[in-house]
Chain A
């Protein structure tokens, strides 16, 4: 098992604030995925990063894959209540996906 540690575990912020969540490991990955899971639903894939140092933007969300491909970050600009959810990073090992511990984000209106 290649452990993915996410931080912070919980985050509660006001609407309009910026935030960054992290996904770290001691292992090198060929790719990392980020998911968001809303209450009562399954996770939904947001992005896959493949190249070390890669930066991908999805509206107000910016994803970065570390140069050494061991870590990744997700930055949200001007958070909105609709961003509330559990953010999970994951990697594929063989035919299996391994998920991180998750960051639970609450955006207060």
Chain B
């Protein structure tokens, strides 16, 4: 079974631009979560999608948005990029059995650099 895939792996943008990142979950997984990882703040939750609906959202500004398609693939968008948005963006998928031992599987991430 193929793992979580993310595209692109690396991206360089300039301030003010917008960016769209893509995530394909493991087949059969309906929940997709997005995280931002930086050296200073660590791994922080952005949002989670389940069955095309945003189910949970972290404490990030409205410039960060996402969506999920009927095939469970997900995209996240960041508008009006700022230097501080430079980070590794990770996507994770899980089956969503609802138990406390749910396992989420991470993709390799997209390294975004904002100049």
Contact = CB atoms under 8 A, between A and B. Distances in A.
A5 to B, nearest CB: 11
A95 B100 contact: no
B48 A96 contact: yes
A109 interface: no
Contact of B109 (A42, A44, A48, A97): A42
B43 interface: yes
Contacts of B45: 96-98
A95 B94 CA distance: 11
A102 interface: yes
Contacts of B106: 41-44
Q: Is the interface of B mostly helix, strand, loop or mixed?
A: strand
Interface string B32-59: 0101000000111100100000011010
A53 B92 CA distance: 29
B100 A30 contact: yes
B33 A50 contact: no
A80 interface: no
Nearest to A104: B39
B101 A42 contact: no
A42 B100 contact: no
Given A31-B101, A92-B102, A96-B48, A42 B42 contact: no
Contacts of A100: 42
Contacts of B92: 42
B20 interface: no
B74 to A, nearest CB: 15
A96 B103 contact: no
The 4 closest A-B pairs by CB, nearest first: A42-B106, A99-B43, A95-B56, A31-B100
8 contacts: A31-B101, A41-B106, A42-B92, A43-B43, A45-B103, A50-B101, A92-B102, A99-B42
Interface of A: 30-31, 40-45, 48, 50, 88, 92, 94-102
Interface of B: 4, 33, 35, 42-45, 48, 55-56, 58, 90, 92, 100-109
